[in-house]
Structure 1
């Protein structure tokens, strides 16, 4: 089985567990007001690690399937672009996260934008294929 990042076979399982744990920590931190900035910073770090692994696999000419969002297409430039978009969103969140009161209208707009953005990211590979 081809893996995204070069790692000894014995490290693949623990790395997978660490990735899932990091993703869970990001979600938990983003859900807790005082830890929101930590969550965005962790997301940036994890996206950076994913992007390095994608570029590494692509430059080694490894046809590793991307399992992101249920996709099975081989990793490539489109995945770097997608991670760049997600990193820009995480950076915007990091820079704008504040401790002020939550306004219902703003929360509604943020929820709608998040849902639309999430759907676009989930279908990103399919959207790119439409224009290739």
Structure 2
């Protein structure tokens, strides 16, 4: 009888590669929704709300815009009052607008505790 001085790991590597391929294929099908999954029900569930992103802008003439429509700051305040606090807001401010107008808008957003803000900019070249 012959003594084995080494352990042959090639069959083990082959099995692991096949197992890895199966896991990756299954994960792909699940993430794309191809495999149908019936989720269980529960009495205490939180619904994930899909909050619409709100765009607020100030143009070069210092005119305020809410969702691409021109409004006064007071009209925008009335609209902001009705929004949930987690609503994502994108600010599009012209670079030549006076800082005071920007400050008014930020103050208005803080009044209604709308802190999920992004400021749209252009990438430097």
TM-score, structure 1 as length reference: 0.23
Larger radius of gyration: 2
More helix by percentage: 1
Relative contact order higher in (CA < 8 Å, ≥ 6 apart): 1
